[in-house]
Each structure stands twice: as structure tokens, then as C-alpha cells.
Amino acid sequence: MAVNALYYSERDGLDMALKNPDTLLFSSKADADARDKILELAEEITQFLQARVEGLDEALAEQAAMAIAEEKELFARALKKPSLLNQGAIDDDAAAS
């Protein structure tokens, strides 16, 4: 019988990881660390948004922050070329037509 190690981010918690094994359990520590960094960034973005956007509730701030954190490379490139942010949406619209 083989033994397999599985990794998860403590920020997600074991219960959450077990409920979503396809997306929150990882076979490598590097992948779990990458997830943890996304969650750390999302926490900081959430705090930033709540401080800067009056009336933004916590749940919406968390959703927005997670979307930004998961696409951090896209946002980094968009600082130089803003149209990149919606290029996928434009491509999706063209494909649907």
C-alpha cells in the first residue's frame, strides 16, 4: 500500500479543504504555499477595499479581493496596459456571437 501526502492551506482549514478536495487539497507543498499566498493577498486586499470603499460590505469585499488575488499576474500586466483586464471578456463576447 502506498502512502500519499496531501497539503492544504491552514487559512482554508482542513474542514474546508476536505469539502473541496479538487481545489483545496494539493499533492505538492509548493501548490499549497501558492494557495496560501493568494489567501494572504486576498486578506490584505479585503482590508484595503473596506477602508477605501465606503459602504462595501465584508462579503462583497472578500469576493472582489479573491478575484483580484487569483488574477494578480493579470493585474500586474494591466498596470502597463489596462485593456488587458477585459480582453478575456471581449474574446468571450466575440466567440459567443
Instruction: Name the fold adopted by 37-96.
Output: Arc Repressor Mutant, subunit A (1.10.10)
**pTM (2 decimals)?**
0.77
Instruction: Please give the pLDDT value at position 26.
Output: 94
Measure the CA–CA gap between 63 and 95, rounded to whole angstroms: 27
Which three three-digit cell numbers place residue 91? Answer: 474574446
Model pLDDT for residues 21-68, shown as the tens digit of each residue: 999 999 999 999 999 999 999 999 999 999 999 999 999 999 999 999
pLDDT at 71 over 70: yes
Contact 51, 58 (CB under 8 A): no
Instruction: Please give the pLDDT value at position 38.
Output: 95
Cell 466567440 locates to 95
Whole-number Cα distances in Å, 91 to 68, 72, 88: 20, 20, 5
Q: Which residue has the higher pLDDT, 4 or 36?
A: 36
Per domain, the residue ranges of the chain are: 37-96
